[in-house]
Amino acid sequence: MRGPLLSIPLERDEGEYAYIAQRALHGDVPYRDAFNQKPPGVFVIYVAALLTAGRTADAIHLFLGAWTLVTVWMLYRLVTRLADPTAGLLAALALTVMISGKGVLGSAANTEVFALLPIVASLLCLVPAGSRAGGWRLTAAGALAACAFWIK
């Protein structure tokens, strides 16, 4: 759904995140050399985007598309475990439509979209498949929830 929006320019927040990430790649220190009020997780994600996808708006939006695809897949798995594959498919479809909407600035690689992946992954850790349970799941769920906190 975001394919036609790959080439749009970065909006204000995206530009700030990309600028700080680019400065970090050149050795600058976020919050000292370039300030933003957001937690550092979004800058880490943008550094990963710049290193893996490239340093253009298209590349950042392509990275966002891949991130969103993983989030949708994780939500499908979560809801399938809680209910059934049909419910999982409907939840994945609903998220895909809602997360891409104009009302939520769905074309932008913002903190809200990036925070969803660790949130959904955290919940997925708390709902074990079958009877498998263990302390590592709680630890992973907590770590993933902390990641979401550091993004948003």
CB 38 within 8 A of CB 19: no
**pTM for the whole thing?**
0.90
Number of separate domains in the chain: 1
Q: Tell me whether residue 17 is in a domain.
A: yes
Residue 107 lies in domain: 9-151
Q: Tell me whether residue 1 is in a domain.
A: no
Q: Tell me whether residue 94 is in a domain.
A: yes
133: pLDDT strictly greater than 90: no
Q: Tell me whether residue 46 is in a domain.
A: yes
Name the DSSP letter for residue 34: B
Q: Tell me whether residue 21 is in a domain.
A: yes
Q: Tell me whether residue 2 is in a domain.
A: no
Taking only the tens place, the pLDDT of each residue in 47-76 is 999 999 999 999 999 999 999 999 999 999
Taking only the tens place, the pLDDT of each residue in 89-103 is 999 999 998 888 776
DSSP secondary structure, 126-152, as one string: HS-STT---HHHHHHHHHHHHHHHHH-
Q: Tell me whether residue 112 is in a domain.
A: yes
**What pLDDT shows up at residue 88?**
97
